[in-house]
A and B are shown apart, each in its own frame.
Chain A
Amino acid sequence: MEIFFGIIILVLGLLYFLYARIIRNKNNVLEALAGIDVQLKNRSNLIPNILTIAKKFMTHEKNLLENVTKLRTKESEGYDQTDPTSIKEHISAASTLGSELGKMMISVEAYPDLKSNETMVKAQLTYNEVEAKIAAARRFYNSAVAQLNNSIEIFPGHLLAQYANAKVMPFYETDEAAKKPVSADKYL
Chain B
Amino acid sequence: MEAVTQSIQGVPLNHYILLSAIIFSIGVMGVLIRRNAIIIFMSIELMLNAVNLLFTAFSAHRGDAAGQVFVFFVMALAAAEVAIGLAIIVMIYRNTNSTDINVLNRLKW
To the question of whether A and B form a pair in one complex, the answer is no
